[in-house]
Amino acid sequence: MLQSLSMDVIAMEVMPDHIHLLVNCKPQLRLPDAVKILKGNIARWLFLSHPEIKEQLWGGHLWNPSYFVATVSNRSLEQVAGYINSQKNK
């Protein structure tokens, strides 16, 4: 669990040019803030482990500033998790 954000990752699949994440979080959490923190922390961890990557990126940036967020109800949770998990087969 990401303690400072109170977020649990339910499903994740890393694609060549994007990432699918299904997370459980409190409704009070501002989603743009959560995305910014997630992107920032992942980039920081990756660059600390592999500093050579930063030199290969345009402007030294890992992420495009865009993202997509949608809310999911308990009724559709299994369907969305199944979709994310099926992406590794494509």
pLDDT digits (tens, 9 = 90+) for 17-44: 889 999 988 888 888 988 888 888 888 9
Question: Higher confidence at residue 90 or residue 2?
Answer: 90
Task: Parse the chain into domains and list their residue ranges.
Answer: 7-89
pLDDT digits (tens, 9 = 90+) for 51-79: 888 888 878 788 888 999 988 988 999 99
Q: Quote the pTM value.
A: 0.75
How far apart (Å, rounded) are the C-alpha atoms in residues 14 and 38?
Answer: 14
In Å, how far are 24, 34, 64, 78, 88 from 72, measured between CA atoms? 9, 16, 24, 10, 21
Catalytic residue, chosen from 34, 83, 84, 85, is: 83
**Known catalytic residue at 67:** no
